[in-house]
Amino acid sequence: MMLTKARKKRLWELARSPAQVWARYQLWRRSCLAFLPQRPPAAIPPDFDDLWFLYRLIRTRRPKTVLEFGSGCSTAVIANALQHNSSGHLYSLEVDPVWAQWTRRCLAPSLMPWVDLQVSRLTRTTYRNIAVFRHLDIPAISPDIVYLDSPPLTADCRVAVDPVDLELRLKPGSTLIVDGRRANVAFLQNHLRHRYHIWKRWAPWGSTIFDLKEVSISEAISPPWTNAVLQGVS
């Protein structure tokens, strides 16, 4: 039997269905699914297994700052995890004002203090001759966790360059999670400069996790302030 891409994907979803049921139960037990009735019928259905992974990551790593590209179910679950940690803050960037509004409706009032949800402008440009998207309104923060799940991709642009732009702000111990987006993962493997431990959940379609191990020597010894310091010394 010929396994088309659609069939492979369906099989993959079937294989994951016990994990989806388990993850949904775990999130429900922790009161993280109150947002579900507020989602509009047209919304992409939640991937409970990915949401449970995000929840556990936030609970175990206890980040001070989380940056999310693409708001939705993940915004509510990350905010819940931060609330359960009693620390940290989520900056969620959304390129579509209508979906931003839907996400706001999903956030219970008790979650609001944990989240800044902003609409960001998006531009299409090139990076080393590759077509890329770039968010134009990234807040001035140094995130401990970055979750890349946006923007919606097009046939001729399948990459967001933002993690490369953000790299100078990341410290060892920071984590970047890319949801699916295989072309974006390949791009980041080629263009990120620091040293990462890269691992995958549910290969080949699942999330890819980049754990920052070491800041690249050239970045470490020549950040933008180096010249000023050296001039001061001489």
Ligand X SMILES: C[S@@+](CC[C@H](N)C(=O)[O-])C[C@H]1O[C@@H](n2cnc3c(N)ncnc32)[C@H](O)[C@@H]1O
Q: Which positions lie near ligand X, rule CB under 6 A? A: 42-44, 70-74, 94-96, 99, 149-150, 152
Assess whether the previous peptide bond of 151 is cis (omega < 30° from 0). Answer: yes
CB of 96 to ligand X, least distance (A): 4
Q: Which is nearer to ligand X, 150 or 174 (CB)?
A: 150
Q: Which is nearer to ligand X, 153 or 195 (CB)?
A: 153
Q: Which is nearer to ligand X, 91 or 99 (CB)?
A: 99
CB of 114 to ligand X, least distance (A): 16
CB of 170 to ligand X, least distance (A): 20
Q: Tell me how far apart the alpha carbons of residues 179 and 202 are, in angstroms, rounded to a whole number.
A: 11
Instruction: Select from 97, 87, 172, 166 the least CA-distant residue to 134.
Output: 166
CB of 151 to ligand X, least distance (A): 7
CB of 35 to ligand X, least distance (A): 10
Q: Which is nearer to ligand X, 184 or 194 (CB)?
A: 184
Q: Which is nearer to ligand X, 72 or 88 (CB)?
A: 72
Q: Tell me how far apart the alpha carbons of residues 142 and 148 are, in angstroms, rounded to a whole number.
A: 15
Give the 3-state secondary structure of residue 105: helix
* Nearest position to ligand X, beta carbon: 72
CB of 76 to ligand X, least distance (A): 9
> Residue 145: phi, psi to the nearest 5?
-130, 130
Q: Which is nearer to ligand X, 150 or 184 (CB)?
A: 150
Q: Tell me how far apart the alpha carbons of residues 116 and 136 are, in angstroms, rounded to a whole number.
A: 16
Q: Which is nearer to ligand X, 67 or 215 (CB)?
A: 67
CB of 207 to ligand X, least distance (A): 11
- Going across the sheet that includes 208-214, the strands are 115-119, 89-94, 65-69, 145-148, 175-178, 208-214, 195-200
Element holding 81 (H helix, E strand): helix 73-85
Q: Tell me how far apart the alpha carbons of residues 95 and 78 are, in angstroms, rounded to a whole number.
A: 19
The count of residues in the chain is 234
Give the 3-state secondary structure of residue 211: strand
Distance of CA 37 to the CA centre of its chain: 23
